[in-house]
Amino acid sequence: ACGEKPASTPAAKLPAAVTIAAISYTYQGKPTFNGLSQVVINQGWLEGELKKNGVALNWLPVPTSVGGPLINEGFAAKRIDFAGYGDFPALIAKSGGVDIRAITSSGQGNNAYLIVRKGLEAKSIEDLKGKSLAIHRGRPWELTLAKLLDSKGLKLSDFKIYNLNPQAAYSALAAGKVDAVFTLSEAILQEDKGAGTIIWSTKSNPEWKMRTGLFARTEFTTQNPELTQTVVNAYIKAAHWASQPENRAAFLELASRGNNPTSVLERDYANEGGDWNDHFSPIIDQGFVAHFDDVSKYTFENKLVQKEVATRNFIDPTFVNKGIDELGLKGFWKETPVTGPVQ
């Protein structure tokens, strides 16, 4: 009898639960999420808000090694509604026909590093021509490498490329079986351990950083705009918390539950002339859009995806803009926001 009328009360329309997937690590036997997701959890605000509407909150911890595919498949299977992950896999899913979109940014992005083995006299990527270079193919930072190579007029074929997963790459570097590894911030840790020397990083070219953000299933956002807004607001609140200089130590402690100790994170986060809060800006700004334009073009041209993704269908800044308004945080982060939907 209840199902006769199309349910008009909002409560009846609401899903039983919201599921958010995010890259996570295991810390002392329990999953700890990467970046802001863990802050959202710790703040407890989102869970409380959802509970008020009778909606449960599920977190899906995803290990780094299989993060992209697992999240993409989860989106396709409608098992997850939101995910915090990287530009490249999200774009691949979108191109593959999974309707998702970026609804917040997670700051300026992640650094990539080029580390060479001990005893190798190389000062720049050009010096590595003809040498062996390890990278894990298909992972987001491959784009960064491509841009670096492009800028120097080099090609992948100028090197002896080894497709190694990060663990193996570090071992190979330490053992001197490869000359260089192109990877994320763990490079700093490897350098500390004496496995090699970092000769280049995106700190010199911040625009090439890999970008991450919060992505949402479009179907979900259109059916449940209020819930989506709540989730986005939670992330904005988390970003706001993390942006406070007095929370810096606390944030780094949270982050250090991942792969890198605080000492490494300090250096990775050491900002090149910017402010601490730039790291967490949720704003979808011109830089973010431009980055995705780039990624979209590169992946299509290199036949990594079959269909080119139109960025305007892929990025939806309305929630984040509204959230910043609602929370009275306009002007807290300095980038110029994109106004209105990307068209």
Partner 1 sequence: MTLKTLNLNAFKPVWLLGLIPPVLFLLWWDHEAAKGGANALAFVSLAQVSQALADMLASGELGLSYGSSLGRALSGLLIGGGIGTLVGIAMGLSKPVEWAASPIYNSFRQVPILGWLPLIGLWFGSGDLSKLIIVALSAFYPTVLYTFEGLKQVEARLLDVGQIYRLNGWQTFWRIQWPAALPSIFTGLFQALAFTWISTIGVELLFSSGAGLGALMQQAQLQARLDIVLVCILFVGLTGFAINFLIKRLSQHVLSWRSIRA
Partner 2 sequence: MTAFKLFPPEVLVSPTAVIAAFGEVITTGELQRHLSESLTRLAGGFTIGASLGLLFGLALALSKTVERLFGPTFQALRQVPVLAFIPMLILLLGIDEVFKIVIIAKAAFFPVALAAYDSVKGVPKSYFEVSSLYRAPWWVLISKILIPATVPNILAGVRLSLTRAWLVLVAAELIVADSGLGQMMEMGRQMFRLDIVMVGVIVAGVIGFALDRLFQLLQAHALRWKTA
For the segment 151-190, give every residue that binds partner 2 (CB under 8 A). 161-165, 167-168, 171-172, 174-175, 177-178
Residue 120, C-beta contacts closer than 8 angstroms, at least 6 positions apart: 131, 179, 180, 196
Q: Would you count residue 260 as binding partner 1 (CB under 8 A)? A: yes
Q: Which of residues 45-74 bind partner 2 (CB under 8 A)?
A: 68-69, 72-73
Neighbouring-strand partners of residue 101: 216
Q: Are 185 and 119 in contact (CB under 8 A)?
A: no
* Contact partner, 30, from partner 2, partner 1, none, Cβ < 5-8 Å per class: partner 1
Residue 193 contacts partner 1 per CB under 8 A: yes
Residue 189 binds to partner 1 (criterion: CB under 8 A): yes
From the list 71-79, 149-157, 271-279, 335-343, the region that binds partner 1 by CB under 8 A is 71-79
Q: 215 vs 89, 154, 162, CA distance in Å?
A: 11, 33, 31
**From 166, 287, 323, 337, residue interacting with partner 1 (rule: CB under 8 A):** 166
Nearer Cβ to partner 2 (84/86): 86
322 binds partner 2 (CB under 8 A): no
Sign of CA dihedral 234, 237, 242, 243: positive
- Closest C-alpha among 285, 282, 270 to residue 240: 282
Counting contacts by CB under 8 A, is residue 131 touching partner 2?
A: no
Exactly one of 170, 215, 220, 235 binds partner 1 (CB under 8 A); which one?
A: 170
CB pairs under 8 A, 24+ apart, for 252-261? 254/32, 254/38, 254/39, 254/42, 255/34, 255/35, 257/25, 257/27, 257/32, 257/38, 258/25, 258/27, 258/32, 258/34, 259/25, 259/64, 259/186, 259/189, 260/185, 260/186, 260/188, 260/189, 261/189
Sign of CA dihedral 225, 227, 231, 236: positive
Q: Is 163 an interacting residue with respect to partner 1 (CB under 8 A)? A: no
Q: What does 28 bind: partner 1, partner 2, none (CB cut-off 5 to 8 Å by kind)?
A: partner 1
Are 186 and 166 spatial neighbours (Cβ–Cβ below 8 Å)?
Answer: yes
Question: Could you say whether residue 139 binds partner 2 (CB under 8 A)?
Answer: yes
312, two tokens: 């305007």
13: contact with partner 2 by CB under 8 A: no
Judged by CB under 8 A, the residue of 13, 30, 160, 334 near partner 1 is 30
Task: Check binding of 311 to partner 1 (CB under 8 A).
Answer: no
111 binds partner 1 (CB under 8 A): no
- Write the DSSP symbol of residue 333: S
Report how far residue 100's alpha carbon sits from residue 219's, in angstroms, rounded to the nearest whole number: 8
Q: Least distance to partner 1 from the beta carbon of 71, Å?
A: 9
3 contact choice in partner 2, partner 1, none (CB below 5 to 8 Å, kind-dependent): none
For partner 2, the closer of residues 23 and 55 by Cβ is 23
Are 318 and 225 within 8 A, CB to CB?
no
Query: In this chain, which of 15, 79, 96, 335 binds partner 1, going by CB under 8 A?
Result: 79
CA-nearest of 244, 224, 233, 258 to 319 is 233
Closer CB to partner 2, 178 or 255, in the complex: 178
For 229, residues 6+ apart whose C-beta sits below 8 A from its C-beta are 319, 322, 323, 326
Positions that interact with partner 2 (CB under 8 A)? 68-69, 72-73, 76-78, 89, 92-93, 95-98, 137-139, 161-165, 167-168, 171-172, 174-175, 177-178, 304-306
Positions that interact with partner 1 (CB under 8 A)? 24-26, 28-31, 60-66, 69-70, 73-74, 76-77, 79, 166-167, 170-171, 174-176, 186, 189-190, 193-195, 259-261
